[in-house]
Amino acid sequence: MAGAPIVQNVMTVPRSKPEGPMNLVGLTRQAMWDELIAIGTPEKQAKMRVRQIWQWIYQWGVRNFDDMTNLSKSFRAELAEKFIIKIPEVISKKISSDGTRKWLVRISGSHEVEVVYIPEEGRGTLCVSSQVGCTLTCSFCHTGTQRLVRNLTAGEIVGQVMVARDDLEEWPVPGNPNSETRQLSNIVLMGMGEPLYNFENVRDAIKIAMDPEGIQLSRRRITLSTSGVVPEIARTAEEIGCQLAISFHATTDEVRDKLVPINKRWNIEVLLAALRAYPKVSNSERITFEYVMLSGVNDSDADAHRLVELIKGIPAKINLIPFNEWPGAPYTRSSNNRIRAFADIIHKAGYSSPVRKPRGEDIMAACGQLKSATERARKSRKQIAAEVGLEG
Ligand code: SAH
Ligand code: SF4
């Protein structure tokens, strides 16, 4: 037996109609079409209307139906009566000394999630959350100490991108695409939550972000990170087609069981088989193996050699992440020398092995430090230590 099965207790947000006016943000084009038909839009006009509304919302960042000047006044009034255009509400914003921004946003039900924007030379990456909390309990992850509260809707996921574009003041002036000052060039689903346990909403949100008549981010600029939900990996390739990152973090099942407990359900061998079969894998589409460097736990030379052996044949890039500490964490970060030695072995084996620079540490915005302020069920330090076998 490979250990106890992981019980999934995901409270899926109903995808049926909510009470009150429907939010257009997050609807697929087809769903928006259905809604327009339902309010009596003639079928031969509906496709065009979807296109117009879509462009107003996602290309120009408009939130008022009244500003949609290529629609008739009466149609605008009808839309305003039946629908809303709503994105998460910003509660607070912090800016790090390195320029990283972190927003705490509120979504319906008074839940809160964090969104992080990381400016870099020539690009800007937005780290988006997919769940409030997480059902998984990776022992080094701050989010993992918070139980899942709920899945985010597609509108709440793509809404985070819109919140960031608002704050970065980068929407173009309507009708003038040349006025765009785009900073946000990449999205990573590396915030709170396990995206593949919220597949449909994540898929719909990413598709909206990729739509050429809206936010227009290429699938190469969107990376979904998963702890290894094996059955959804092939589906990710087929239905989304974005870049894939895997939270690998260990080279033996014994260690990975402790760090990434989903490994008890789908172990390293099963995970690697799924990655080998990832249909989109090609030299230009490497899978990113994320590897958090934990002192004395997974950072030996032997680990580096094993890692290289394990992933042989998979077009890959290994992203070494110095552990970002958080209050009560049961691990410490590997020393710089250790990280360098580890990276060296990987590099010599022919893999690119960038070490991720911790960003926004002063505002607790670094990878794995996110956790909503409305934490419900924080586990005690003792409990975490007991689970990873560090007690005593
Ligand atoms: N649930 C998904 C995506 C969110 S976590 C996943 O696990 O892949 C994004 C990345 O941050 C993952 O690789 C995760 O393992 C890593 N991470 C989590 N906590 C961390 C920490 N304290 N320090 C460094 N990286 C961390
Ligand atoms: Fe969840 Fe990812 Fe954190 Fe694991 S690392 S607890 S899967 S958010």
Q: Tens digits of per-residue pLDDT, 322-333?
A: 998 888 899 999
Answer yes or no: is pLDDT of 211 > 90. Answer: yes
Residue 10: the pLDDT is 45
For residue 301, what pLDDT band results from cuts at 50, 70 and 90?
Answer: very high
Pocket test for ligand 2, best of 10, 113, 114, 134 (most atoms within 8 A of CB): 134
The model's pLDDT over 305-317, given as tens digits with 9 standing for 90+, comes to: 999 999 999 999 9
Please give the number of the atom of ligand 1 that sits closest to the Cα of 136.
Answer: 1
Answer yes or no: is pLDDT of 382 > 70. Answer: no
Answer yes or no: is pLDDT of 391 > 80. Answer: no
Please give the number of the atom of ligand 2 that sits closest to the Cα of 247.
Answer: 5
What stretch of H or E contains 106?
strand 101-107
What pTM, to 2 d.p., does this model score?
Answer: 0.90
Residue 5: the pLDDT is 38
Residue 285: the pLDDT is 79
**258 CA from centroid of ligand 2 (Å):** 13
Q: Which residues contact 328 (CB under 8 A, 6 or more apart)?
A: 145, 380, 381, 384
* CA-wise closest residue to 143 among 382, 387, 375: 375
Cα–Cα distance, 240 to 263 (Å, whole number): 24
**144 CA from centroid of ligand 1 (Å):** 9
**137 CA from centroid of ligand 2 (Å):** 6
For residue 362, what pLDDT band results from cuts at 50, 70 and 90?
Answer: confident
Answer yes or no: is pLDDT of 14 > 70. Answer: no
Residue 378: the pLDDT is 43
Complete DSSP assignment for 316-342:
EEEEEEE----TT-S--BPPHHHHHHH
The model's pLDDT over 114-131, given as tens digits with 9 standing for 90+, comes to: 999 999 999 999 999 999
Residue 93: the pLDDT is 93
- The ligand with the least distance to the CA atom of 292 is 1
With H, G, I as helix, E, B as strand and everything else as coil, classify residue 112.
strand
- With 0-12 CB in 10 A as exposed, 13-18 as middle and 19+ as buried, what is 271? buried
**226 CA from centroid of ligand 1 (Å):** 9
**143 CA from centroid of ligand 2 (Å):** 6
Catalytic residues: 114, 367
Answer yes or no: is pLDDT of 293 > 90. Answer: yes
For residue 36, what pLDDT band results from cuts at 50, 70 and 90?
Answer: very high
Q: What angle do CA 352, 358, 363 make, to 5 degrees?
A: 160
- The ligand with the least distance to the CA atom of 329 is 1
For the Cβ of 384 lying below 6 angstroms from any atom of ligand 2, the answer is no
Strand partners, 32: none
Calculate mean pLDDT across residues 141-151: 84
DSSP code of residue 294: B
Pick 2 or 359 by higher pLDDT.
359
Q: Are 147 and 376 in contact (CB under 8 A)?
A: yes
Answer yes or no: is pLDDT of 21 > 60. Answer: yes
For the Cβ of 245 lying below 6 angstroms from any atom of ligand 2, the answer is no
For the Cβ of 290 lying below 6 angstroms from any atom of ligand 1, the answer is yes
Calculate mean pLDDT across residues 95-122: 92
**184 CA from centroid of ligand 2 (Å):** 24
Residue 355: the pLDDT is 86
- The ligand with the least distance to the CA atom of 249 is 1
Q: Which residues contact 14 (CB under 8 A, 6 or more apart)?
A: none
For residue 30, what pLDDT band results from cuts at 50, 70 and 90?
Answer: very high
Cα–Cα distance, 53 to 45 (Å, whole number): 12
Pocket test for ligand 1, best of 141, 229, 295, 297 (most atoms within 8 A of CB): 141
For the Cβ of 127 lying below 6 angstroms from any atom of ligand 2, the answer is no
For the Cβ of 367 lying below 6 angstroms from any atom of ligand 1, the answer is yes
Answer yes or no: is pLDDT of 180 > 90. Answer: no
Residue 8: the pLDDT is 41
High-pLDDT (> 90) share of the chain, %: 72
Residue 149: the pLDDT is 80
Residue 357: the pLDDT is 79
For the Cβ of 144 lying below 6 angstroms from any atom of ligand 2, the answer is yes
When mean pLDDT is compared over 93-107, 274-288, 345-359, the highest value belongs to 93-107
All domains in the chain, ordered by first residue: 20-84 (1.10.150.530), 89-387 (3.20.20.70)
For the Cβ of 114 lying below 6 angstroms from any atom of ligand 1, the answer is no
- The ligand with the least distance to the CA atom of 191 is 1
Complete DSSP assignment for 129-193:
--EES-S---TT-SGGGS---EEPPHHHHHHHHHHHHHHTT-PPBTTBGGG------EEEE-SSS
For the Cβ of 53 lying below 6 angstroms from any atom of ligand 1, the answer is no
Q: Which of 49-63, 140-154, 334-348 has the lowest mean pLDDT?
A: 140-154
For the Cβ of 195 lying below 6 angstroms from any atom of ligand 2, the answer is no
With H, G, I as helix, E, B as strand and everything else as coil, classify residue 291.
strand
